[in-house]
Structure 1
Amino acid sequence: VVYAVWAAVWVTWNVFIICFYLEVGGLSKDSELLTFNLSRHHSWWREHGLGCVREEPAASLGLLDSQAPVPGHGCALEHGYVEALHSALQILVALVGFVCACYVISIFTEEEDSCLRK
């Protein structure tokens, strides 16, 4: 039962991620919504996308932390689409797990009912 609830929560989260990266309903993938404005973290796929040529940031005398990673160029897919596809795959796996969990729950409840009737 716990897994079925977790799978439902996971599907909901991944639907939000898809809407976030496809900018549905006023969401913007350039906003700091996922990081709560606490860090400069961005999607891993932004710098390491499929077929991307990554550019290293120019060397400077400043701190290494102050250098922002440079997104790759020439990518086969934009990082937002890769994130959306990744979340869609997660939803598919979670839905299969949810169906299996419901099946197992139904088997256990049928066994309990048959034991109570005897």
Structure 2
Amino acid sequence: MGCCTGRCTLIFLCSLQLLAALERQIFDFLGFQWAPILGNFLQIIVVILGLFGTIQFRPRYIVVYTVWTALWVTWNVFIICFYLEVGGLSKETDLMTFNISMHRSWWREHGPGCIRRVVRPSSPGILEDYSYVSVTGCIIDFQYLEVIHSAIQILLSLIGFVYACYVISIFMEEEDSFDFIGGLDTYSYRQPPQEHVELKPVKPVGRSK
């Protein structure tokens, strides 16, 4: 089968998802966001499987990609709710770092237009190495940048889910068609060959005188 529209589109979408996941993984590593790092790693692995299955005509790999896509959409919806503090969630908690560190999103201090300053308090009784970071001038707050990243992931995943289901249906139809044609060929091959009797002319026997 050649590169049909659905199959080529799914390959393109998987490539976009792979690039988006790699970009997100880099910035999550910089911010020590361990929960998103784990999710991004699984996303990269499954997208590679989906890409391989689409190129090599392996419907089972695409099914795995389809199931994971639904879970990935759910995870990104949770991230949006987390940063928008929906349902009692708070972006100031250490949930994204599994409560093992106090790191926050990398975009918190390095967003577009942000000016980062390390301020050392001059109050007596405070250790000299104690300091805090002041961030001002951000064009867009870090939580909205995280929301935009998750929204892009959801959009790509939903489109990929639709095309993955379409490609799976195409593969299944072709397999059914191939099995049907192969079954007819096998049946005709197994038929016992008919015996052909070669007829030869018989010479008349002359009468003895």
Point out where structure 2 has 5 or more consecutive residues left out of the alignment: 1-62, 122-126, 182-209
1 or 2, which has the higher helix percentage? 2
1:54 corresponding residue in structure 2: 116
- Name the structure 2 match of 1:44: 106
Deviations 1:5-61 (A, max 9, x none): 121111111000000000011111011222221011100110111111111354975
Hey, what does 1:105 align to over in structure 2?
168
Contiguous gaps of at least 5 residues in structure 1: none
| Count of paired positions | 114
| 1:78 partner amino acid | D
Structure 1's consecutive aligned runs of 4 or more residues displaced over 4 angstroms after TM superposition are none
The amino acid across from 2:87 in the alignment is G
> How many angstroms apart in 2 are the aligned matches of 1:81 and 1:91?
15
CA distance 1:95–1:67, shift in 2 (3 Å):
farther
Instruction: Report how far residue 106 of structure 1 moved.
Output: 1.0
CA deviation vs aligned residue, 1:51-98 (integer Å, no higher than 9, x gap): 111113549754xxx766x25211111111111111101111111221
Q: What is the DSSP-based 3-state SS (H/G/I as helix, E as strand, rest coil) of the residue aligned with 1:34?
A: helix
Identity of aligned residues (%): 61
Structure 1 residue aligned with 2:196: none
Q: Give the TM-score, by structure 2 length.
A: 0.50
RMSD: 2.1
Q: Compute the TM-score of the two structures, normalised by the length of structure 1.
A: 0.84
> In 1, Cα distance between the equivalents of 2:113 and 2:120?
22
Residue 81 of structure 2 aligns to a residue in which SS?
A: helix
- Residues 71 and 44 from structure 1, CA distance in 2 versus in 1: closer, same or farther, beyond 3 angstroms? farther
- Bigger Rg over Cα: 2
Partners of 2:101 and 2:79 lie apart in 1 by 18
Q: Residues 108, 24 of structure 1: CA spacing in aligned structure 2 closer, same or farther, 3 A cutoff?
A: same
Q: Which of 1 and 2 has higher RCO (CA within 8 Å, sep 6+)?
A: 1
Equivalent of residue 154 in structure 2, options 91, 94, 109: 91
More strand by share: 2
